[in-house]
Chain A
Amino acid sequence: MSEQGKTILVVGGGISVMTTAIEAAEAGYKAVIIERNSYLGGRVAQMNKYFPKLCPPYCGMEINFSRMRSNPNVRSYTLARLESLNKEDGTYKAAVKVEPRFVNSKCTACGECEKVCPVDRPNDFNYGMDTTKAIYLPHEMAFPVRYAVDGAACKGASCGKCVEACKYDAIELEMQAETVEIEADAVVMATGWNPYDPNKIDNLAFGKSPNIINNVMMERLAAVNGPTGGKIQRPSDGKEPASVAFVQCAGSRDENHMQHCSAICCLATFKQIAYLHEQNPEIQAYMFYIDLRAQGKYEAFVQDVSAQENTTLIKGKVAEIAEDGATGGFIVTAENAVTGEKVHQAVDMVVLATGMDPASNEMRAPVSLDYEMSGFMVPSSDPGIIATGVAKKPSDVASCTQDATAATLKAIQSIVRR
């Protein structure tokens, strides 16, 4: 194909982005990734396992990283944001602001810097449930494998202990943000999602007790590289919960919050019930739901988990979560829609199945795109700008990889047909 070697700019850093970039590169195109985190992997890197296979996301990520390692056609900028995008004579010109990492490519990830750093900071990779040093390796499979300094936490050159400890001249505490210009022939927007902010849902009492967490935090609690080394326990006292309530549609399918269904939360909860029972089959799991949504082959997973002992499914939307005296636990109140009875269930811990809020609601990219009522991108009138992944609609990983592969073709078509 004569159009090979043209460049596709991919905005974001999660599974949709990795898929788009590597699929394009293997089809003979160049891909440039710009990601705001200090590593690639996005939300999937923070998941413990995927439903329904209960396999670790690191596995597929490693395959993608190994494809990238052997393919020079993929380049990536981390800690980067799209500042502007203009089209001139059919070519997109992107201005990308790259925030300082304070660590350059000489870093070998030997870890000596971390040993001497005196500052702790909340670990955003673990949703603040533990801390790292101000200089940190984002996680075990960080790509690139390179430390980063949290500029807000670091004491700067006045401390400089890490600079002394580094034998490779890799730390530059004076590093400045820079703006790079990238030319591209098509742009794929895959900016992903944030968990819906549970603080906005008054009746679900998030923030009133550390023992009310959301589903993404639960992934970190269950992960071996999470704050508890993979042991699911109550944040308040480190005890294993004897009972856990899962509150579905926390912010989804709700006139007052997000009207859409987030498509993944039912299955995520079934997966998390499986985590609980893998740890201890005696833990009581109560799932409060409106409808169990598990399309296609996922049904078997729902059946398997539902059939486990100590799993109780209650069709009913949770009205209230109240603290249960001094136990650190809660009384969850809901109306059982089938029996009409009011349910008051005492539990040790609550997991809010918060849904997918498109990241565009946090910040709109400077790209001429339209958004539907929930903030998901709608197809652009410019065929060279393609939205994919959860930026476009609530999707599970399988749908994202599917859609991203399709988005790659659309990007190529826009180049070929121009």
Chain B
Amino acid sequence: MEKKLGVYICTGCSIGDSLDVEALNKVAGNEYSAPVCKNHGAFCSDEGVQMIKDDIADGGINTIVVAACSPRVMYDTFDFGEERITERVNLREHVVWCQPPNDEDTQMMAEDYLRMGIVKAQKRELPEAHIEEIDRTILVVGGGITGMKAALDASWANHKVVLVEKSGQLGGFARKMYKQYPKSASFDTLQDPEYASLVQQVEADDNIEVILSATMESITGQPGLYTAKIAKEGGTTEERKIGTIIQAAGWQPYEAEKLGHLGYGTSPNVITNVKMEEIASSNNGTIKRPSDGKVAKNVVFIQCAGSRDPEHLPYCSSVCCMVSLKQAEYVRKSDPDATATILYKDMRTPGQYEHYYKKAQADEGIFLTKGEILSVTGGTDGNVIVEVDNTLLGEKVKIEADLLVLATGMKPATALTMDEDELEKAIEEGKAAQEAGTLDKPFREEDVGKPPILSLDYRRGGELPHLKYGFPDSHYICFPYETQRTGIYAAGAVRAPLDTAMSRTDAAGAVLKAIQCLELTSQGKAVHPRAGDQTFPEFFLNRCTQCKRCTEECPFGTLDEDEKGTPKPNPYRCRRCGVCMGACPERIISFKDYSVDLIASVLRAIEVPEEEDEKPRVLCFVCENDAYPAIDMAGLKRLQYNPAVRFIPLRCLGSTNLVWIADSLSSGMDGIILIGCKHGDDYQCHFIKGSELANYRLGKVQETLERLQLESDRIQIHQLSINEYEKVPEIVDQMMEIIDDVGQNPFKGF
């Protein structure tokens, strides 16, 4: 596209009163030879917009620079279509609202922002669509409640499904259940297990292909273009073309063998809550104890058996309180003279489940008490004695149980999965430790780990990456289906400890995301959080040195590698954050509207005064998602800050390329600030690790600076939350103090 530039400088909202607009016009006209440069008292008015539209229609203007308010407001007013480039220069929030009016420094700031905006508009290119014919079949891995519901949900939205289940039948864990606890109003009646009707519906659904006794051999490709190899019993392999993937591999009960301190192994009458379901199912509701088949009379439940325990599962398994209340009802129905005692840390029956708890409290045969388990020991006749402290019944109580149920929790199926090489290494280490005699108990390979369930053929590993405790998620509060692999969504108990009601909901949510990903991918557009972005990273591979930084640092596992280590892009896996662009020392990765050269050109557009003018300059790279709005809000609150600073928004701080730091210093910038999102365990970065990576890269640059005898303090990195707008002036001031201290950049003017 041959660009024809139009610059529109608004004089409303105190811009005209605070700045020399004629001088700004000269910047556009003289420095950048803009063929059109106009002013208006409110470009956002109908008249103002029309003025721009007329220039587009009559004057062929196709590159529009609107110097007015923040791009976060009036976005629809200044939308001139995808076939044109529109660049917004934030003279309002970032200049006149935070600087004294009619001041030389304020004017310099405004002129710089105008230059930066014009250069950006000149450098930006329109995206070129990359559209391929995609497959819209959804692969669901796991045939439990979540997997079956996901398959049905996808089918009901007109999608084909391939459902792969490792066992010989559908139903998952729910098959073991005798009854389910109430999940709808009035929350007081046990329900028959729901798996049977789901199995029936799945089997009758023409959109769903069920492959049983099968595991994933490999998944190659990218959203819309996956090839799934499915290994079936007997050694045969099936291949399917797949669009997106739902990981619904479910959960496993926490290992009861590890709960010796709660009496497991003391007597056959110490069982898990899963075993309790099996007993109830096999005797049609009569609770017979394993040792002698007698109907249980005094059943004790120990809650949090392995959960909420730093030695075992540190989290709460969410379902066990309701499960034990349900099983207490089994006991009471099995024999009306029998009693059930539930020993808990806290009864967790959130929301409407409280009604069922109330019902149990009203039953005189169910005893509920908080308590700390002191010991569980064998008694006579297969009974066990539970000693409890700090109960609501008094201190140190001994309770004799003829059946003891341990309410064991849930572990995601992915908790133990490891990649092949990790697995091999762990097994080797385990065997070596066994030989060295440093283990307490014999080494078992199956304790180490299991191969990945999805078997993704990704450079960065075969499974969805997980955060804490093996649950594969990322931003589970605001965006629960955010995984670190585009087009692959986790649902059900593999994502979080969820009951069947929540799992069904979760299946629907994950399916929506899977369908949405197909929709956007089919148009060549990015998914969340840059949904709709049509640019892709382009690699100038002739200059690639195979350093592998891009493939390693991409938070979404977008890039694979060939044997030499050259990156192999999978464009539809890409989320357009630009972390690869920031990582590349050769600067060979670019987007049409975002590149190392583009930002370098923008920063070079800033006029740096001579040393004797004593006007230092500070460049500040900011995350556009959080820091940039915070700076807007600082403007809205009319917070004033030092006029030396110039902000450059980045897609993510992780896209910061170190060459910009070098360029800034060589162009005479006295200080450089990077403001990104909070990182660490509770990271806020929308691209997982962007701000953390920037921090890491910066560490390297500071070392280099010291070698050049440039003060490394000239570069500062901050973590800022979006609501911490009050800190913006402090952050700038702090840098100004450093510059006061170390002096201006000695390279200025070179």
Contact residues, A258-275 vs B (CB, 8 A): 259-263
Contacting residues, chain A, for B185 (C-beta < 8 A): 372-373, 376, 378
- Within 8 Å of chain A (Cβ to Cβ): is B682? yes
Contact residues, A37-77 vs B (CB, 8 A): 48, 50, 52-56, 58-60, 62-67, 69-72
B44: contacting residue among A71, A106, A405, CB under 8 A: A106
A378 to B479, CA, bound (A): 25
- Within 8 Å of chain A (Cβ to Cβ): is B436? no
A412 to B157, CA, bound (A): 7
Contacting residues, chain A, for B509 (C-beta < 8 A): 402-403, 405-406, 409
Chain B residue, CB-CB nearest to A409: B512
Contacting residues, chain B, for A175 (C-beta < 8 A): none
**Distance to closest chain A CB from B261 (angstroms):** 20
Query: B29-37, B115-123, B294-302, B721-729: which one contacts chain A?
Result: B721-729
A55 in contact with B682 (CB, 8 Å)? yes
A297: contacting residue among B156, B469, B636, CB under 8 A: B469
By size class, the interface of chain B is 35 or more
B350 in contact with A338 (CB, 8 Å)? no
B506 in contact with A406 (CB, 8 Å)? yes
Contacting residues, chain B, for A27 (C-beta < 8 A): 512, 515-516, 519
A417: contacting residue among B156, B471, B502, B726, CB under 8 A: B156
A374 to B185, CA, bound (A): 10
B157 in contact with A295 (CB, 8 Å)? no
B45: contacting residue among A140, A168, A376, CB under 8 A: A168
CB-defined interface of B510-539 with A at 8 Å, one 1/0 digit per residue? 011101100110000001110110000000
A223 with B723, Cβ < 8 A, contacts A291-B346, A315-B370 known: yes
A295 to B480, CA, bound (A): 16
- Within 8 Å of chain B (Cβ to Cβ): is A394? yes
Query: B54-62, B212-220, B314-322, B599-607: which one contacts chain A?
Result: B314-322
B478 in contact with A373 (CB, 8 Å)? no
- Within 8 Å of chain B (Cβ to Cβ): is A279? no
B73: contacting residue among A53, A67, A109, CB under 8 A: A109
A380 to B477, CA, bound (A): 27
A413 in contact with B629 (CB, 8 Å)? no
A70 to B392, CA, bound (A): 57
- Within 8 Å of chain B (Cβ to Cβ): is A397? yes
B73 in contact with A145 (CB, 8 Å)? yes
**Distance to closest chain A CB from B364 (angstroms):** 18
A399 to B185, CA, bound (A): 19
**Distance to closest chain A CB from B512 (angstroms):** 4
Query: B323-331, B351-359, B703-711: which one contacts chain A?
Result: B351-359
A54 with B42, Cβ < 8 A, contacts A26-B531, A296-B316 known: no
B477 in contact with A62 (CB, 8 Å)? no
A410 to B725, CA, bound (A): 39
A299 with B316, Cβ < 8 A, contacts A63-B625, A69-B72, A108-B69 known: yes
A295 with B348, Cβ < 8 A, contacts A27-B516, A55-B721, A406-B505 known: yes
B352 in contact with A374 (CB, 8 Å)? yes
User: What total of chain A residues lie within 8 Å of the partner, measured CB to CB?
Assistant: 83
CB-defined interface of A387-399 with B at 8 Å, one 1/0 digit per residue? 0000001110111
A147 to B498, CA, bound (A): 43
A402 with B505, Cβ < 8 A, contacts A374-B352, A417-B156 known: yes
- Within 8 Å of chain A (Cβ to Cβ): is B545? no
B531: contacting residue among A70, A338, A393, A398, CB under 8 A: A70
Contacting residues, chain B, for A108 (C-beta < 8 A): 12-13, 42, 44, 69, 73-74
A168 in contact with B157 (CB, 8 Å)? no
- Within 8 Å of chain B (Cβ to Cβ): is A201? no
Contacting residues, chain A, for B629 (C-beta < 8 A): 58, 62, 141
**Distance to closest chain B CB from A261 (angstroms):** 4
Contacting residues, chain B, for A67 (C-beta < 8 A): 528-529, 531
A260 with B477, Cβ < 8 A, contacts A26-B531, A296-B497 known: no
B314: contacting residue among A15, A300, A405, A410, CB under 8 A: A300
Enumerate chain A interface residues (CB-CB to B < 8 A). 1, 4, 15, 23, 26-28, 48, 50, 52-56, 58-60, 62-67, 69-72, 106, 108-110, 140-141, 145, 167-168, 223-225, 253, 259-263, 291-300, 303, 315, 337-338, 372-374, 376, 378-379, 393-395, 397-399, 401-403, 405-406, 408-410, 412-413, 416-417
Nearest 9 A-B pairs (CB), nearest first? A60-B478, A406-B508, A372-B185, A405-B509, A409-B512, A291-B346, A56-B723, A261-B354, A263-B350
Enumerate chain B interface residues (CB-CB to A < 8 A). 12-14, 41-42, 44-45, 69, 72-76, 153, 156-158, 184-186, 308, 314-318, 346-355, 358, 370, 390-392, 468-469, 471, 475-481, 496-498, 502, 505-509, 511-513, 515-516, 519-520, 527-529, 531-532, 625-626, 629, 633, 636-637, 677-678, 682, 684, 686, 721-726
Identify 11 residue pairs between A and B in the complex whose beta-carbon atoms are under 8 Å apart, listed by A's number: A26-B531, A54-B682, A58-B629, A106-B44, A261-B352, A297-B471, A298-B316, A376-B352, A405-B509, A408-B512, A412-B512
Known: A48-B723, A372-B185. 18 other contacts (CB 8 A): A53-B684, A54-B682, A55-B682, A59-B723, A62-B625, A66-B529, A70-B75, A110-B12, A141-B633, A259-B355, A295-B316, A296-B318, A299-B316, A373-B186, A393-B352, A408-B512, A409-B509, A409-B515
